[in-house]
């Protein structure tokens, strides 16, 4: 017959307390007792040394408003200087871009001026040639040709012709065309802009 071992009453209470403590520690992570869930459950055996409690991390005291103001006032000059340096660098970059664009604009302007001078020389030669051509034509033929040409160009040609020759050509033209050309020549002869 197997022998039944009997424990004294205080041993049974001790074992029950250990089992209860183990069950309680095991249930803590599930019950939301820890915030992080990082703590591990340790089994405590009878007669074993109790492990030292892990050190709790303490949060540093949050800085109060005066400390924040002191910090901000201490770095205000440095921050302002850094901001000025960054703005100066940005302005230098913008100035370099503007200088490049100005150089390109000056080059285009010089090119445009040379083309304009060449055009003016050509137009002066062409105008003199065209005026001489119309001056040598018979008045009725010149009137017929000028009626077909752009009114502004025809008026310019008539203004450069001798007044006697221009009057004979206008006399040979259609009344409406002659009136239009006369109006253009009169407005071009004004010294002050009528508008």
66-83 tens-digit pLDDT: 888 888 888 888 888 999
43 band by pLDDT with thresholds 50, 70 and 90: low
Residue 85, pLDDT score: 93
Q: Provide DSSP, the chain.
A: -PPPP---HHHHHHHHHHHHHHHHHHHHHHHT-SSSS-PPP-PPPTTPPPPPPPPPP-PPPPP-HHHHHHHHHHHHHHHHHHHHHHHHHHHHHHHHHHHHHHHHHHHHHHHHHHHHHHHHHHHHHHHHHHHHHHHHS-HHHHHHHHHHS-HHHHHHHHHHS-HHHHHHHHHHS-HHHHHHHHHHHHHHH-SS---
Structure tokens at 124: 């002066």
CA distance 115 to 79: 54
Residue 132 has pLDDT above 70, yes or no: yes
Residue 89, pLDDT score: 95
135 and 161 Cβ atoms separated by less than 8 Å: yes
Q: Average per-residue pLDDT in the chain?
A: 78
Question: What is the average per-residue pLDDT within 27-38?
Answer: 54
Question: What is the average per-residue pLDDT within 123-137?
Answer: 80
- C-alpha distances (whole Å) from 175 to each of 141, 143, 185 are 16, 11, 15
Residue 95, pLDDT score: 95
Residue 34 has pLDDT above 50, yes or no: no
Residue 96 has pLDDT above 80, yes or no: yes
Q: pTM of the full predicted structure?
A: 0.37
Q: Which of 155, 109, 161, 104 is nearest to 137 (CA)?
A: 161
Residue 41, pLDDT score: 60
């Amino acid at each position: 017959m197997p022998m039944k071992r009997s424990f004294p009453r205080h041993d049974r209470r001790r074992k029950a307390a250990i089992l209860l403590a183990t069950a309680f520690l095991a249930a803590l992570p599930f019950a939301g007792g820890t915030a992080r869930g990082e703590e591990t459950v340790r089994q405590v055996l009878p007669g074993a040394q109790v492990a030292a409690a892990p050190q709790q991390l303490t949060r540093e005291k949050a800085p109060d408003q005066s400390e924040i103001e002191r910090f901000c006032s201490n770095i205000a000059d440095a921050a302002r200087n850094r901001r000025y340096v960054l703005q100066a660098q940005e302005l230098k970059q913008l100035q370099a871009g503007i200088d490049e664009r100005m150089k390109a604009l000056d080059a285009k302007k010089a090119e445009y001026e040379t083309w304009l001078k060449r055009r003016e020389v050509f137009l002066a030669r062409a105008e003199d040639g065209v005026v001489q051509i119309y001056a040598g034509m018979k008045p009725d033929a010149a009137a017929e040709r000028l009626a077909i040409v752009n009114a502004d160009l025809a008026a310019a040609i008539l203004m450069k012709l001798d007044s006697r020759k221009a009057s004979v050509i206008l006399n040979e033209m259609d009344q409406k065309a002659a009136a239009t050309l006369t109006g253009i020549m009169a407005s071009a002869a004004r010294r002050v802009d009528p508008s």
